[in-house]
Chains A and B, each alone.
Chain A
Amino acid sequence: MHTKTAHELHELLVNKKISSVELTTALYDRIAGTDDKIKGYVTLTRDEALKQAQAADERLTTGANPTPLTGIPIAIKDNFCTRGIKTTCSSKMLENYLPPYDATVVTKLKEAGAVILGKTNMDEFAMGSSCENSAFFPTRNPWNRECVPGGSSGGSAAVVAARSAVMATGSDTGGSIRQPAAFCGVVGLKPTYGRVSRYGLVAFASSLDQIGPLTKDVTDTALMLNVIAGHDDRDATSIEHPVPDYRSALKNDVKKVRVGLIRELLGSGIEPTVKAAVKGAADQLAALGAEIVEVSLPSFEHAIATYYLIAPAEASSNLARYDGVKFGHRSQEHRDLISMYYNTRREGFGAEVKRRIMLGTYALSAGYYDAFYLKALKVRTLIKRDFDQAFERCDLLASPTTPTVAFKLGAKSADPVAMYLSDIATIPVNLAGLPALSLPCGNSSGLPIGLQLIGPAFAEELILRVAYTYEQNTAWHQTSAVI
């Protein structure tokens, strides 16, 4: 039961072949059998989940408007506020934080009847690309437990890959949905900035953060996006743009769709097996009728430097709220208010969070603001223009999601710059606010390879259609990790 997708399980649920309580119990059995090895979850919510499953079964029985997610067990990344359920951001700072409200996305998923199995591990405050920055424990890649699952939504990607959740939520500031999706061989979508409400998502870099699904296949991604997309009065950056039925975009047809392969992301920094898999995927799309062209986005080489000024600058401001006064950790060691701030933040934050607060504070400080922060905002314009020009020639862009397959635990943890460079293909997309999806397109030494499809703002339907067509004509989504 745990191996099936949400749309397959939905058929079984509405036809009374299984109940949500049985399904939820089967998923907890699967968690019991796998999560000691994978460590994807930080909190399990079994009692609440079984109540939600019972309610879902009633809704399915009475025919009271069941949705495609009614009774489906899902996992929530631990930076989404869940009322009365610990929301830690995998940080000591929020180790015991009980949000007084649900994130809008959590509310919508609950209203759709989804069953919440628990909260997933992540890099602390979503800062990282490997899940090793969790203050609690690292998560392991289900395909090879010596390797990282990626990050920051590493726990969510790992539990979907381990089949210990049917689907999961993630957040993506510089690749935090797509990179772990690629490393774990699942589908991950970062929607257009503003497509999904961020109310109740613990803020990291507010001009870049966006919420999206991690699922076993493209259809499930469309089903979750149907539930979570839309304007929200509580998030002033969410956009009033009509929400289509994303499932109806899933057509097995890419004829005449013009896909641009990004030259800068198929160069020397990309592992040969990854390059070959992505070129193979492009050939496959061409055989299905798509038109493949090569495009150049020259400002991409500056994207990492730009991102690592803008994101830390925004983070240093967002994380100023963790001062030990109203919620979260407070140091017991202090002689006055100021020393309480210092000690609270010294004890509560891990190394990567401190590094980024330092970097962002520096980039915003007097004398350096123009040279660093303002400069980065201007280069951001250049990156956005490169995309605009590329989309005059192409309907979609394609690239590897990551330059390599999943790396070993510890391989990059001592060298922040090496870790940052692993986000080269995903970061430009956040800087331009665009939608992009990663889906499995190959395998190298037992580790999955991800294909990234990038669209213009609000082109989620076209991205989903092309991804669906590729998936229907290949078998990567049918392979799974053996644990």
Chain B
Amino acid sequence: MRIDVDHVARLARLGLTEAEKKLFADQLAAILDLAASLQKLDTETVPPTAHAIPMKNVLREDKASPCTDVEAIMANGPVIEDHMFKVPRIIEG
């Protein structure tokens, strides 16, 4: 099974080199052939399991508590200006 590598990379916002595209097209085809083996199983009436240990909504008391040190968080920002994370221009014009 072959996949459209350019399309999937675009969905994942993932830059790939030409060499990676070629390699991944082959390797992903091999992995998906393995995955395709599931198709032969009849799962018509089987419910999906997203979590192995059943869990309902988890709630806690709505109580304020101190948050992580803001300066330490900001210190990891690649580009910071006036206490904000700076990114390249988003809107043209």
Chain A interfacial positions (CB closer than 8 Å to B):
83-84, 97-98, 100-101, 192-194, 207, 233, 236-237, 239, 302, 304-306, 308-309, 316, 320, 323-330, 334-338, 340-343, 345-347, 349, 351, 354-355, 357-359, 361-363, 365, 371-372, 374-382, 384, 416-417, 420, 431-434, 457
Contacts and interface: CB of A to CB of B under 8 A. Distances in A.
A132 B37 CA distance: 28
A98 B53 contact: no
Given A304-B34, A416-B30, 5 more contacts: A233-B60, A346-B17, A349-B14, A365-B8, A431-B52
A343 B88 CA distance: 13
B58 to A, nearest CB: 4
B35 interface: yes
A358 B9 contact: yes
A250 to B, nearest CB: 25
A349 B41 CA distance: 35
Nearest to B73: A100
Given A308-B31, A361-B8, A340 B73 contact: no
A13 B43 CA distance: 57
Nearest to A377: B48
Interface of B: 3, 5, 8-9, 11-17, 20, 23-24, 27-28, 30-32, 34-35, 37-39, 41, 43, 46-53, 55, 58, 60, 68-69, 72-73, 75-79, 85, 87-90
Given A306-B38, A375-B43, A379-B41, A337 B90 contact: yes
Contacts of A336: 88-90
Contacts, number: 175
Chain A binding surface, main DSSP class: helix
A323 B13 CA distance: 9
A207 B51 CA distance: 6
A101 B11 contact: no
Given A330-B79, A417-B34, A457-B53, A362 B15 contact: no
Given A100-B76, A309-B35, A381-B47, A343 B15 contact: yes
A199 to B, nearest CB: 12
Given A316-B12, A346-B15, A327 B35 contact: no
B52 A432 contact: yes
